[in-house]
A and B are shown apart, each in its own frame.
Chain A
């Protein structure tokens, strides 16, 4: 027995010694590879989101400690992030060594040849290629950042889907359930159809009013001063009705039904009409809400259900210092029209937006080598799980099986499982090299529809015409 104990102890020591050697080796590699660049400062810009804030607060400091390379990471507003990055890359000023590439803008950046081919750059600099970094370990979301040859232009740093969140404490309350059933003749449940969604919204708004509670039936990301409203309509509501690719037919170069587009078609009008009909059941801040405010409203317990970006799911469900609904958050697929899920499963459509982004290196960067090390650091498997737990983002296939994520998954009502299993039903933005330009043209019409100045049909008809004019101006028209 004593002998056996000694053997086990020796094996344990050997394993521990091996592990510390591996760790020391790993640390040694980073220090050696980064030695020529120690003291260098690399600068990046991104939108202020939970995953970005984790990079700024945690990963940057770890990387600096390991390599001696300083990371200045600017997290700013969504608009400012784009302006700063594009101005820098276009003017070739070299202010930023890495920029956030939202999935929807990658096609514009690639068309302008703004970004360094990271696969090629790593191959050209084998001394800087970290063996713990493996491009094939990323989820299929990384494909959005590859060219036709499969070379990567951005290291995925966040990926999530826009899901349907609901308050379990309300939906599972016996008295509320009875009241709903009495009024509507069927059982209260998370919505699986648009009619059911509308009933839920109307019921909880009336319930909130009758109970003198700050509670409304749904969220609506309906800011009239921000593109967020256009995005919710085009990338979440539209697809769930079967309106894909913003209703723009790239081959025909048109958004108008008469020319092969669909932005002014019946499906689009139906989708916009439904979405606008939810405004009376949304909190008063809805018409000033971007994605951030929608998450805050839901976290404050002001909406019974809604469409919320998944990056917020984790903190809404678990962070008691910021959320009033922790432990009561239910997560489901967003509501879809008949046939939309089948189409998505067949690969003929999608049910909502697979959002996310990557960090890329602009050609204008003056510190490409140091930045390559940084991107490999954040792209390695060992940093993924805690990052995923903090920001509800997953970019590595292995992260789904991590014990930390498995534990977190139960607290977030299976959000991570949904992301893994149902993620392929969602899709990123269409491959437009004119993404922001055309979206800017659509914005005013959606905003005027929200204000009630235009009917859904008028708004979409005028928007489709304006899109076609812009496509002509940009050289992508018919």
Chain B
């Protein structure tokens, strides 16, 4: 019979690290979020101010705008990544010349650090120097200036994110597709199902868990996006996402109390979004048991 103490003993290093680096900082942020604290205030130190920080953010137009932008960014980026990732994964399940080379090249963006991705894209799209605005202007007479048009900055961020993270979705989808047993697919074909019906009634239900996991990971990543977009556009209009807004409040503005409260609300929003998505994709309702 196994000794339960051995299990706890083996788990303890992970638990200790999680408590020190995960749980305790969270508690600290929770504490600071209910205080007013700016190190450059006339009166230094923390002052408990109850729910004032949370009340303030409800009326903070910049914060609300950043939430709206972040949701737009996340929805468009993740939807595009899932569709593209699935199509690429489907393609990679088949044989075609140069498949191995394509798979390697396709995975390259994943290996690049987010800050470098931002730098690469900035060099591509910076007006006056980058090739993208140059050719868009020359060939299509399109004025492409991410500093002047917030929508262009937002869409550029979405495209950059899709370029960076679609390979991740492809790889997870590929793993999911490879794990689907052949029998149900063949059975559906024998029963006369067309390709769309096979996808909808057989492939998609099998892929659901992996799809859910992938989308969860991408939602969490997208909501806390900072470095890539920071490098690309500095968090200006069109790209002042919640993560960048938090950075500005906490660091240059040194408003630690308010910044902590925004961080907590953002965490809450992420959990709620993931939960809603879980309900939507898994189709579970309250009280249902698997």
Question: Which A residues have a C-beta under 8 Å from some C-beta of B?
Answer: 79, 82-83, 86-87, 90, 108, 111-112, 214, 222-227, 283-289, 297, 302, 433-434, 436-437, 439-441, 444, 447-448, 450-451, 453, 473-476
Contact = CB atoms under 8 A, between A and B. Distances in A.
B40 A474 contact: yes
Interface stretch (B26-34, B90-98, B99-107, B231-239): B231-239
A222 B233 CA distance: 13
Tell me if A's interface is mostly helix, strand, loop or mixed.
helix
A287 B133 CA distance: 14
A285 B143 CA distance: 11
B251 A223 contact: no
B40 A287 contact: no
Nearest to B125: A288
Contact of A285 (B40, B43, B126, B153): B126
B133 to A, nearest CB: 7
Contacts, number: 104
B40 A111 contact: yes
Contact of B252 (A79, A433, A475): A79
Contacts of A302: 128
Count chain A CB atoms within 10 A of each CB in B40, B129, B237, B248 and give the residue with the most: B40
Given A285-B129, A288-B126, A440 B248 contact: yes
B277 to A, nearest CB: 31
Complex A-B, nearest 6 residue pairs according to Cβ-Cβ distance, in ascending order? A225-B234, A225-B236, A475-B42, A287-B147, A285-B128, A288-B147
Contact of B148 (A227, A287, A448): A287
Contacts of A83: 251-252
A111 B43 CA distance: 11
Contacts of B62: 444
Nearest to A87: B251
A284 B251 contact: no
Given A83-B251, A285-B145, A286-B147, 6 more contacts: A112-B39, A225-B237, A284-B128, A289-B147, A473-B41, A474-B40
A288 B145 contact: yes
B109 interface: no
Contact of A451 (B36, B150, B239): B150
Tell me if B's interface is mostly helix, strand, loop or mixed.
loop
19 contacts: A87-B251, A90-B39, A112-B39, A214-B128, A225-B147, A225-B235, A226-B236, A285-B127, A287-B127, A288-B146, A436-B40, A436-B252, A436-B254, A437-B255, A440-B252, A440-B253, A447-B237, A475-B42, A475-B43
B42 A287 contact: no
Interface in B10-63: 36, 38-44, 62
A224 B252 contact: no
Count chain B CB atoms within 10 A of each CB in A79, A111, A225, A227 and give the residue with the most: A225
A412 B126 CA distance: 29
A25 to B, nearest CB: 46
Interface in B234-265: 234-237, 239, 248, 251-255
B125 to A, nearest CB: 9
A225 B234 CA distance: 4
Nearest to B235: A225
B236 A447 contact: yes
Contacts of A439: 252
A224 B148 contact: yes
A318 B153 CA distance: 36
A283 B128 contact: yes
A442 B36 CA distance: 21
Given A287-B145, A287-B147, A112 B253 contact: no
Nearest to A224: B236
